[in-house]
Structure 1
């Protein structure tokens, strides 16, 4: 600053020196020199950007591809000019001995200079990580396409759901994102702005920590799906060979007679419509359902796991109830056939009554197994049994009235005859005793 004051003293005379002090003149000289330096540096940077073509590329990326609406070279040059002038103004105010003005600006510039290395490191990490993620993503996309992942997707029917994108491109994008996430975390940590970057970093770290569990859950579901398909076909084939498709006819749920859907070992049966294929589908769905429960448990969704487990328990009770009712159907059909084949009176009526009674009994057992209003079922079943007993008693009483009258008359006649016999015997025994009493002296 003393040098600038000496330059001012040489430029000005004694009269001006008396009006304008030396430190003011030094500040003016500093302002002029700083302004010239800022202008020269901004012009040089703007010209270099224009000649290299970086300015036009940056302008297209900022303002759009059509015509490059933004002059990026001028923007960068103007920004450099104002940045240099900021430092010049701080030096000018300091030369004018205005510490109240320069203290906040000095603190601001100190913080800015302290932050610039961290900002540069964050930008460098982000740029290098972006380049690495882009290269690896394209490499993975090319390798997967060369291996034939897209052909497998078309064979499995996945390509239609993906639309215009290929499976290899989607997997490459996933790899790109997985590489870019830790890069963003490292760039945010390099800024050392805890209040701003810590929540974002924590969120990204949680996502990265959940990725292995998500991959494991997806693998479990996919493996269970394809294993379930294999088991479904195997179970359907075994049950078809055992004659399981004829079970509805035996239970009375289908009309008898061979058909493509019920013929054992028939190759003309429509797929997915026979009882064997239905059981195979249930096996497939059950295996995938258990895999989903395991996947939810791995992901930590405890509430959903409890709900899915409860649904599995309910499905098991319903399945057992259906088996109980199927056994009831079989026994009802067996009892009806046995009664119709016997020589009892009115076999058709007795067969229908026996069949209905067995179905009601096993239906109540099935509903109780399902847990559907146990108290109501018990009361209804008790009332039904009581009604049957009362109806039987009334039927016996009304229908057997004449027979009961004859039996009662017979019992009364027999009782009267017994009383007359006893009276006769008593009379015969008392007669000789009276005669002896009268002949005695």
Structure 2
């Protein structure tokens, strides 16, 4: 019987009365207690019934709220899937992996579910008259519903920004393509295999995101995000303050670029009409040696000379000292150095032209006096396959496998004239390090040339000595001739290397050791081979001396 009265409801007003009933030890006293408190017990049962009705109503409200939240969440999810919100946001953020597995549709539908379900929870708590618990939830929901109109206005502004940005991008892209900017200013892809972005697309995307940047302060202001609004507003003010200078610099650069292209085309056509290419081919400055035609080279030089002042003016129009000051100073130095560079280039070209003329003259003169027989004079006979003189060979054509000595001298003459012209050119450039390098190079090449001449003269005299000794007809004449030739060549080689400055101390030491070893070898050979003869001669000298000493005075 007591077990039927065991229930725990903290809000029941007659909890003490029921505990008193359960505390009676004698069952007989129970009717008396009930009789005394029958009126109070009836009132408690009525209150308990009302409480049960409130609980049932609260649970029903919570259940209905859950059903409504589930239905609205599914409806929201279905609508968002139909409008393809996930795909649109993925394309908007630029890439299939930009959301990193997040689904905006699932997030929004979940938010709708929990907001409606929280309304059901608040209704459940209000039905139970638990206002202390429901007040924080009511405040939270009031903040959410007060923020929803602001969020709606922000979404409308974002949609408006998207429409304006899309239209602006389309207009700019079509205008750039109609002006053929993609062909005039091609862009190369940085990564291999990546799609190449055209200039029109780059300009359209830039304007697209600029429109969103302009709408961003409005959106943040509607959402009352003052902390995030101030940096964006400062950035936008800086950009708007810099845009006029940027537009001015861009206009200067574009106009200068177009003018430079037009003038380059005019110069190339004018030079071609004047026959500059034929003059260049006569001077050896044809397309084969330069890689481009002479008219194209001159046009490119004029193009660069126009672009440098244009770049200086464009950088000065930006009025950003941290960027423009170093760049402008560098371009001014280049522009100041251009006359010296042009003068040095003219000197080198003149040296090349004069060198070719002198080389041709020297080559023709040497061929006339029979200098091509130099190898025969020196005793170096070329092979029959290469001994024939090449036909039509000149310094401007592809050399054959065997060059005549006159051609070699002509090339050396050309290189010498160009080197002297290079000395004058680097002096004009006023670069001390380069001047010292070219001067040292000329000195070294001069020493090498003199060393080669010493070797040639020594080879001539060595072969001459060989022929004289070999034709003397004496015994061991060829051996003596060969030894003399080797000795002369060794001596001359040491002189040539010493004059070239190639390890002078090592050459002297090697030369001294070589001749010292030869002298020691001769001494040993004479001493060991002629030992008996030397002993007989010494005995004869001793006997002669003794005979003189024994003769009476």
The TM-score bracket by the shorter chain reads 0.5 to 0.7
Match 1:196 to one of 296, 303, 323: 323
The Cα of 1:328 is off from its aligned counterpart by 1.7
Alpha-carbon distance, 1:245 to partner: 1.8
**Cα 1:167–1:373 shift into 2, 3 Å:** closer
- Corresponding position of 2:510: 380
- The answer (yes or no) to whether the contact 1:221–1:295 under 8 Å persists in 2 is yes
Q: 2:442 matched to which residue of 1? A: 312
For 1:228, the equivalent position in structure 2 comes to: 355
Q: CA deviation at 1:140?
A: 2.3
SS of alignment partner, residue 232 of structure 1:
helix
Distance 1:230 1:54, change over 3 A: same
Give a deviation string over 1:391-440, Cα, whole Å, max 9, x none.
33334334444433333333343444455545xx8xxxxxxxxxxxxxxx
Give, in whole Å, the separation in 1 of the partners of 2:209 and 2:512.
96
Do the aligned residues in 2 keep the contact of 1:249 with 1:256 (CA within 8 Å)? no
Are residues 1:244 and 2:367 paired? no
Q: Indicate yes or no: 2:273 matched with 1:146.
A: yes
Structure 2 counterpart of 1:218:
345
Contact 1:332–1:354 (8 Å) recurs in 2: yes
Q: Displacement of 1:322 after TM fit?
A: 1.7
User: Separation in 1 of the partners of 2:252 and 2:480?
Assistant: 89
Residues 232-286 of structure 1 deviation map (CA, whole Å, 9 limit, x = unaligned): 11101111222322222122122699x9658xxxx95866621111101111122
Give yes or no for the alignment of 1:332 onto 2:462.
Answer: yes
Deviation at 1:180, TM superposition (A): 2.9
Residues 390 and 169 (structure 1 numbering): CA distance in 2 closer, same or farther, change over 3 Å? closer
2: CA distance between counterparts of 1:338 and 1:69?
86
Tell me the residue number matched to 2:304. Answer: 177
Counterpart CA distance in 2 for 1:138 and 1:270 is 37
Distance 1:244 1:194, change over 3 A: same
Instruction: Between the two structures, name the one with larger relative contact order (CA 8 Å, sep ≥ 6).
Output: 1
Counterparts of residues 246-265 of structure 1 (less than 5 Å) = 246-254=373-381
CA distance in 2, matches of 1:228, 1:339: 43
- Using the TM superposition, give the Cα deviation of residue 332 of structure 1 relative to its aligned residue in structure 2, in angstroms: 2.0
Task: Decide whether the 8 Å contact of 1:236 with 1:280 is kept in 2.
Answer: yes
Choose from 427, 433, 446 the match for 1:303: 433
| C-alpha distance 119-225 of structure 1, shift in aligned 2 (>3 A) | same
Instruction: Measure, in 1, the Cα distance between the counterparts of 2:367 and 2:419.
Output: 25
**CA deviation after TM superposition for structure 1 residue 304, in Å:** 3.9
Deviations 1:164-215 (A, max 9, x none): x765455434423322321232233233322232122222222222322222
Helix, strand or coil at the partner of 2:355: helix
* 1:119-130 alignment runs, 5 A limit: 122=249, 125-126=252-253, 128-130=255-257
The structure-2 alpha-carbon separation of the partners of 1:260 and 1:167, relative to structure 1 and needing over 3 Å to count, comes to same
Note if contact 1:260-1:268 (Cα within 8 Å) is conserved in structure 2.
no
- 8 A Cα contact 1:261 1:270, kept in partner: no
When the two structures are aligned, how many residues end up with a matched partner? 367
Change (3 A) 1:270 1:143: closer
Distance in 2 (CA, whole Å) between partners of 1:364 and 1:145 is 56
1:389 to 511, 519, 526: 519
2:175 match: 57
| CA offsets 1:99-135 (integer angstroms, 9 cap, x no match) | xxx9999999998887676566545544554454344
Tell me the equivalent position of 2:141.
none
What's 1:371 paired with?
Answer: 501
The answer to whether the Cα contact below 8 Å between 2:213 and 2:236 also exists between their aligned partners in 1 is: no
Q: Does 1:361 align with 2:491?
A: yes
Q: How does 1:33-52 map to 2 (within 5 A)?
A: none
Distance of aligned partners of 1:57 and 1:368 in 2 relative to their CA distance in 1, 3 Å threshold: same
Q: 1:58 to 1:341 in 2, by over 3 A?
A: closer
The answer to whether the 8 Å contact 2:256/2:307 transfers is yes
Q: Which among 388, 404, 408 is matched to residue 534 of structure 2?
A: 404
Is 1:205 the counterpart of 2:332? The answer is yes
Contact 2:360 2:410 in 1 (8 A): yes
What TM-score, normalized to structure 2? Answer: 0.52
Q: TM-score, normalised by structure 1?
A: 0.64
What 5-or-longer segments of structure 2 have no aligned partner?
Answer: 1-163, 184-196, 222-228
CA contact (8 A) 1:126 1:183 kept: yes
